[in-house]
C-alpha cells in the first residue's frame, strides 16, 4: 500500500492522472455534469499529490495568466458582496469556482510532454465527431418533426439539450483540427491528417445543419482569423486564399442546400422585422425576447454605472423593470455576458473583468498560437450573445481549455 501511494506521487504517474482528468472533462462537457465535477476534483487531487507542495506553490504562480483567472473569480466575489439575494449569489459563486480551483490544480501539476496537448485535442476532436454522427442520425429519422420545431424558434436536439454550448464545442473541435493540421501532428501514420481533414468538413456541415446562428458566426469568424494568420504569420498565401474562397462560397451553397439553415435565416429576419415594428410586449419570438433583455439590462447599467446592482440582485432588478414595461414577457438575464457584468458590478468591474479575461491572450504573446487565438475568438463571440460564464458548462468549457492551453504554452 505504501509503495502504491509513493508511486502516485511520482511525476509520471501524476501526469497520466492529470491527462485522464482532462479526458473526463471532455466527456463531462459532452454528456455529464457529474463527470465535469469528478474531473476537477481529480485535477485537485493530482495537485495535492505533489511531494514538494509547499516549495512548488509560490513559484508555480509566477505565471500571471493564473492570477488573471483568480481575478475573474474576484469579480464574481465582488458581485456577490454587492448583492442582497444570498441564494442567487451563492449559485453564481459556485458556478465560478473553477476560476479559483483550476489555476491552482494546473499550476501544481506536472508539465506536459511535447505531444500531450495535441493528443488531448485530437481525442476531443474525434469524440465530438462521433457524437455528431449520433446527432445527425437522430435528425435524419425525425426530420419532419424537427423542421416544425425549427419554425417555432426551437432547436435541433443535442446532448444535454444545450444546442448553444454544443455548437461552441463543435467549433472548438474544428479549431483544434486547424491547429493540429498546422502543427503536422499525427499519432502513427500521415494519412491520419487526411482523415482529420474529412472529419473537419463533416463537422462544418453538421454546424450548418444544426443552424445555431452564433455557432455559424464563430465558425466563419474563426476561418477568417485563420486566413489572416496563415497569410501574415505563416506566409502560406495559397492556403490562405483557398480558405478565403471557401469562406465566400460555402455559406451560399449551404443556404441553398440545407433547409434547416434557410428556416433559421428567415426566422431571424422575421424576428427583427417584428421588433422594428414594435410587436414586442406580448411577443413569444426568441429573438424579440433577447432584444428586450438587452434593453432592460442597459437601463439597469445606466442607473448604476459605477457599482452595479450585484450579481445576485440582477434578476430581481430586471424583474421589476419587466413588471413595469413588459408584464407579459418572461424575465431573462441579458443575452450578453459583458452587458451582464456591466449591470452587475458597474463599469470599473467590467474593465477589470475585461483585463483578466483577455489578459492571457496577450500575455507572453500567446495570440501567436493558432488554437489559443481561435479559442478566444470562440468564447468571446459567444459572450456577445449568451451568458456563457453564468452557466456551469460554459465556465468549465472556458476555464478548462484556458488552463490546458496555458499549461501547454508555458513549455513552448
For residue 63, the SS3 value is: coil
Assigned C-alpha cell, 82:
454587492
The pLDDT of 377-384, averaged and rounded, is: 95
Whole-number pLDDT of residue 281: 59
How would DSSP label each residue in 306-328? TT-S-TTTHHHHHHHHHHHH-TT
Q: Give the whole-angstrom CA distance, residue 277 versus residue 267.
A: 15
For residue 333, the SS3 value is: coil
Assigned C-alpha cell, 282:
406580448
Report helix angle 163-183 to 11-31, nearest 10.
Answer: 140
CB 177 within 8 A of CB 200: yes
Q: Give the whole-angstrom CA distance, residue 70 versus residue 91.
A: 18
Lowest-confidence region among 61-70, 186-195, 216-225, 282-291: 282-291
For residue 96, the SS3 value is: coil
Number of neighbouring beta carbons within 10 Å of residue 388: 25
Q: How far, CA to CA in Å, does 345 sit from each of 89, 182, 333? A: 13, 41, 14
Assigned C-alpha cell, 118:
495535441
User: Per-residue pLDDT for 341 more than 90?
Assistant: yes
pLDDT tens, residue by residue, 42-99: 998 888 887 665 555 555 566 778 889 999 999 999 999 988 888 888 899 999 999 9
* Top-confidence residue, 337 or 85: 337
Q: Share the mean pLDDT of the chain.
A: 87
User: Per-residue pLDDT for 38 more than 50?
Assistant: yes
Q: Give the whole-angstrom CA distance, residue 241 versus residue 239.
A: 6
How would DSSP label each residue in 383-410? HHHS-GGGSHHHHHHHHHHHHHHHHHHT
Half-sphere exposure of 266 (CA within 13 A, CB side): 11
Report residue 6's pLDDT band, with 50, 70 and 90 as the boundaries.
very low
User: Per-residue pLDDT for 264 more than 80?
Assistant: no
Assigned C-alpha cell, 309:
446592482
pLDDT tens, residue by residue, 112-165: 988 999 999 999 999 999 999 999 999 888 888 888 877 777 788 888 788 889
CA 70 to chain CA mean position, Å = 18
Report residue 1's pLDDT band, with 50, 70 and 90 as the boundaries.
very low
CA 45 to chain CA mean position, Å = 25
What is the sign, positive or negative, of the torsion defined by CA atoms of 165, 26, 200, 411?
positive
User: Per-residue pLDDT for 41 more than 60?
Assistant: yes
Report residue 337's pLDDT band, with 50, 70 and 90 as the boundaries.
very high
Query: Closest Cα partner for 382 from 223, 163, 179, 174?
Result: 163
pLDDT tens, residue by residue, 201-218: 999 999 989 888 899 999
* Top-confidence residue, 82 or 273: 82
Whole-number pLDDT of residue 4: 38
* Top-confidence residue, 238 or 370: 370
The pTM (predicted TM-score) of the whole model is 0.92
Whole-number pLDDT of residue 62: 66
pLDDT tens, residue by residue, 300-314: 999 999 999 999 899
SS3 content of the chain, % helix, strand, coil (to 5): 80, 0, 20
Whole-number pLDDT of residue 278: 67
In the block, residue with C-alpha cell 500575455: 363
Query: Closest Cα partner for 377 from 183, 228, 185?
Result: 228
Whole-number pLDDT of residue 411: 59
Whole-number pLDDT of residue 410: 78
Burial of 175 (0-12, 13-18, 19+ CB in 10 A): buried
CB 309 within 8 A of CB 300: yes
Assigned C-alpha cell, 113:
510532454
Q: Give the whole-angstrom CA distance, residue 230 versus residue 234.
A: 5
The pLDDT of 99-103, averaged and rounded, is: 92
Q: How far, CA to CA in Å, does 149 sit from each of 61, 208, 284, 375? A: 49, 16, 14, 31
CB 399 within 8 A of CB 69: yes
Amino acid at each position: 500500500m505504501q509503495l502504491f501511494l509513493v508511486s502516485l506521487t511520482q511525476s509520471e504517474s501524476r501526469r497520466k492522472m492529470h491527462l485522464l482528468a482532462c479526458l473526463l472533462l471532455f466527456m463531462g462537457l459532452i454528456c455529464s455534469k457529474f463527470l465535469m465535477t469528478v474531473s476537477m476534483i481529480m485535477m485537485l487531487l493530482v495537485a495535492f499529490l505533489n511531494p514538494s507542495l509547499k516549495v512548488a506553490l509560490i513559484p508555480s504562480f509566477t505565471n500571471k495568466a493564473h492570477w488573471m483567472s483568480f481575478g475573474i473569480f474576484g469579480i464574481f466575489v465582488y458581485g456577490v458582496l454587492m448583492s442582497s439575494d444570498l441564494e442567487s449569489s451563492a449559485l453564481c459563486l459556485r458556478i465560478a469556482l473553477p476560476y479559483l480551483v483550476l489555476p491552482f490544480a494546473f499550476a501544481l501539476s506536472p508539465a506536459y510532454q511535447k505531444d500531450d496537448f495535441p493528443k488531448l485535442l485530437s481525442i476531443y476532436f474525434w469524440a465530438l465527431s462521433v457524437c455528431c454522427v449520433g446527432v445527425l442520425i437522430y435528425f435524419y429519422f425525425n426530420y419532419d418533426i424537427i423542421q416544425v420545431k425549427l419554425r417555432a424558434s426551437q432547436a435541433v436536439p443535442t446532448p444535454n439539450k444545450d444546442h448553444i454550448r454544443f455548437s461552441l464545442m463543435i467549433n472548438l473541435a474544428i479549431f483544434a483540427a486547424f491547429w493540429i493540421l498546422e502543427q503536422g501532428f499525427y499519432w502513427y501514420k500521415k494519412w491520419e491528417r487526411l482523415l482529420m481533414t474529412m472529419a473537419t468538413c463533416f463537422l462544418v456541415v453538421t454546424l450548418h445543419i444544426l443552424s445555431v446562428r452564433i455557432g455559424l458566426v464563430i465558425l466563419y469568424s474563426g476561418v477568417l482569423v485563420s486566413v489572416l494568420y496563415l497569410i501574415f504569420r505563416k506566409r502560406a498565401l495559397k492556403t490562405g486564399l483557398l480558405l478565403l474562397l471557401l469562406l465566400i462560397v460555402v455559406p451560399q451553397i449551404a443556404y441553398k442546400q440545407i433547409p434547416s439553415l434557410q428556416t433559421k435565416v428567415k426566422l431571424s429576419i422575421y424576428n427583427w422585422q417584428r421588433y422594428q415594428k414594435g410587436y414586442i410586449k406580448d411577443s413569444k419570438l426568441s429573438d424579440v425576447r433577447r432584444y428586450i433583455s438587452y434593453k432592460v439590462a442597459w437601463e439597469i447599467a445606466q442607473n448604476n454605472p459605477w457599482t452595479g446592482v450585484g450579481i445576485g440582485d440582477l434578476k430581481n432588478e430586471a424583474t421589476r423593470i419587466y413588471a413595469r414595461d413588459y408584464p407579459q414577457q418572461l424575465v431573462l438575464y441579458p443575452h450578453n455576458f459583458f452587458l451582464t457584468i456591466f449591470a452587475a458590478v458597474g463599469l470599473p468591474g467590467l474593465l477589470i473583468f475585461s483585463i483578466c479575461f483577455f489578459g492571457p491572450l496577450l500575455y507572453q504573446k500567446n495570440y501567436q498560437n493558432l488554437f489559443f487565438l481561435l479559442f478566444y475568438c470562440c468564447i468571446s463571440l459567444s459572450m456577445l450573445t449568451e451568458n456563457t460564464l453564468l452557466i456551469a458548462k460554459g465556465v468549465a468549457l472556458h476555464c478548462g481549455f484556458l488552463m490546458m492551453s496555458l499549461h501547454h504554452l508555458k513549455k513552448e
